[in-house]
Chains A and B, each alone.
Chain A
Amino acid sequence: MESQEKIKIRVCQGTTCFVMGASRLEGLETQIPPQWRQKVEISAQPCLGMCQKAGFMKAPFVRIGDEIIGSATVDSVLEKLSGIFK
């Protein structure tokens, strides 16, 4: 099944991530290049718990597949994806 191969992108909507800039990721969905749109699945996640492990300064966090990236921006998510899809 094709849908199972989709890369899951989870944007943390926890309080810390939100205060530290998660709302900047709001437009992420629309900024994914068309050729990748079918390959990813984006959704919001209540709290990934990373703020307690890695510190609030690294928020906002986004999980891409199995990897979590800190200080996430639309650019850093797209960069990560371009590495995966290369």
Chain B
Amino acid sequence: MPTETNTVLLRREVIVRLIKGFLSDSFRKRADDLPFDMRPKYAEVPFRCCIHKERAILRERAIAVLGASVEQDDDKTPLGEYAQKSLDRKAPDQTVLTVVETACQGCTPNRIYVTDLCQGCVARPCTSACAFGAVSIKNGRSVIDGSKCKGCTKCMQVCPYGAIVKIKVPCEDACPVGAIAKNEKGHAQIDFSRCLSCGACVARCPFGAVAEKSQIIDILKALQSDKKVVALLAPAAAGQMPVGLGRIASGLIKAGFDAVLEVAQGADITAKTEAKDFQERMERGDSFMTTSCCAAYRELVKKSVPELRPYVSDTATPMHYTAQLAKRKYPDCVTVFVGPCVAKRMEGLQDGYIDYVMNFEEMGALFVALSIELSACEEYVFETPSSKQGRNFAVTGGVAESIRVAGSTGVSDFRPVCVDGLNAKVIREMTLWAKKKATVPGNIIEVMACTGGCVSGAGCLNNQKAAAKKVTAYAEQGAELTPDPANGELEKK
């Protein structure tokens, strides 16, 4: 995700305030007051047209943090009532994203546009480059007829002045499957029948208009209950803070969790199981296998590209295995996956072993709300140490490498290819591989919906580059993965 922008910081402040509200004895009132506490009378209006619009947007951001959909909001239900609903509900909603409608700019549609830099030259390569007759000259300058333009960008490429630009709608441009578009009301709308929950729109919208529906209140309720609550800390966590994973885990214990497991431990099981799966598939003559750990990719296969289904490994995800281990060790416990990923929220809703999902941003907000200073925390000692390869699952290339190491005694023909970030083009390509209409460039395909891997997830705290470096450094301290498939008794689903 991009480095911390104003929209990200606004979101974090809303989360911190609501956590503090929950922990106070006047949650409803604190929720009601939130937009006014953040933008009090006569306060500066940093971003929008007026203080009222800023407050209206903050109210909608709060609705998302309280776990509800802005789409179903009627503009008049007090935030306190949403707070009460979040306290009363037994389970989180089944959709994970919502559009903060008032925050949405309703951007002008994607189009190719001739700017004032057009010099009205004599050669006019733009007019001849266009195969659709969409470019003509009016008043000595190029003009594009939107009804004829197919968006091929040929005119852009040939303009000697670089005067033609593509105006993008960031969310639409980011979405790999065309699941978000402006509706008749003028703001973005998500088509959940296609949405992968990959979070690309969340990360890319510069107005912060797509939000995750948080489960933070549900998690706080669990922490206050008598049940044991176990945090499952994703491999990307090692790169999120100025301190290392051990202190982050200690911080979670301070926040009320009873135990913390490294999801890298589950990643080790995934690697071993997947290596075995790969060997079997190669022996039976399959042309390739794809990894299965990326939740957004699983959604893609389920919703848009069923042709790929036979090629996806049957192996369960690191989150699933780790949650299973947690439930076995602490029967009746509440499991909370803590990670960078929007799609894991979706996976969590579908996986019986996962109770809740919290992103790193919410984890950070929890530390802020509780005044937990991580540098003052001790190093938490994880009961089962994870391997170097398991820890590297969060960085592109890490999963394929772990399968190589785990299966080093099996298949000798190991040709990894990384699909580093899902987009329309790569999805088309992969579909051709599945339909046997194009040559597959390898036999083991690692798929990461986010470019760079999980460390680029929309729920991250730290920027990708810094996080990837720290994750890799932490991985280097781990022992090499041993290739024995010792965890065969864990269920795949």
Residues of A in contact with B (beta carbons under 8 Å apart) = 13-16, 18-21, 23-24, 26, 44, 46-47, 51-52, 56-57, 59
Contacts and interface: CB of A to CB of B under 8 A. Distances in A.
A2 B12 CA distance: 42
Contacts of A18: 241-242, 364, 461
Contacts of A15: 241, 251, 364, 367-368, 372-375
B16 interface: yes
Contacts of A26: 3, 463, 466
Interface in B10-45: 12-13, 16
Contacts of A19: 12, 361, 364-365, 367-368, 461
Interface string B459-493: 00111001000000000000000000000000000
B368 A23 contact: no
A52 B361 CA distance: 20
A38 to B, nearest CB: 27
Interface string B331-371: 00000000000000000000000000000010011011101
Contacts of A57: 13
Contacts of A56: 13, 16, 368-369
B4 interface: yes
Contacts of B152: none
Interface string B164-177: 00000000000000
Contact of B375 (A14, A20, A24, A52): A14
B381 interface: no
A21 B13 CA distance: 11
A23 B4 contact: yes
27 contacts: A13-B375, A14-B375, A15-B251, A15-B364, A15-B368, A15-B373, A15-B375, A16-B367, A16-B368, A18-B241, A19-B12, A19-B364, A19-B367, A19-B368, A20-B9, A20-B13, A23-B3, A23-B463, A24-B3, A26-B466, A47-B373, A47-B375, A47-B376, A51-B368, A52-B371, A56-B369, A59-B368
A46 B3 contact: no
A59 B375 CA distance: 17
A46 B375 contact: yes
B215 to A, nearest CB: 19
B44 to A, nearest CB: 11
Contacts of A14: 373, 375
Which of B9, B13, B364 has the most A CB atoms < 10 Å from its CB? B9
Given A15-B251, A15-B373, A15-B374, 15 more contacts: A13-B242, A15-B241, A15-B364, A16-B367, A20-B12, A20-B13, A24-B3, A24-B4, A26-B466, A44-B242, A56-B16, A56-B368, A56-B369, A57-B13, A59-B368
Interface residues of B, number: 25
B434 to A, nearest CB: 40
A15 B372 CA distance: 7
Contacts of B13: 20, 56-57
Contacts of B9: 20-21
Given A14-B373, A46-B375, A47-B375, A23 B466 contact: yes
Given A15-B251, A26-B466, A21 B372 contact: no
A59 B368 CA distance: 10
B371 A51 contact: yes
A47 B372 CA distance: 11
Contacts of B364: 15, 18-19
B3 A20 contact: no
Residue with the highest number of chain B CB atoms closer than 10 Å, among A13, A18, A26: A18
A56 B20 CA distance: 11
A19 B374 CA distance: 11
B489 to A, nearest CB: 39
B36 to A, nearest CB: 14
Residue with the highest number of chain A CB atoms closer than 10 Å, among B16, B368, B461: B368
A56 B13 CA distance: 8
Contacts of B462: 23
A16 B9 CA distance: 12
Contacts of B16: 56
B16 to A, nearest CB: 6
A18 B242 CA distance: 8
Most B CB atoms within 10 A — which of A15, A20, A56? A15
Contacts of A23: 3-4, 461-463, 466
Contact of B371 (A13, A16, A24): A16
In order of increasing CB-CB distance, the 9 nearest A-B pairs are: A19-B364, A13-B242, A15-B374, A16-B368, A21-B4, A46-B375, A15-B367, A24-B4, A56-B368
Nearest to A14: B373
A51 B370 CA distance: 11
A28 to B, nearest CB: 13
A46 B369 CA distance: 18
Contacts of A21: 4, 9
A7 to B, nearest CB: 23
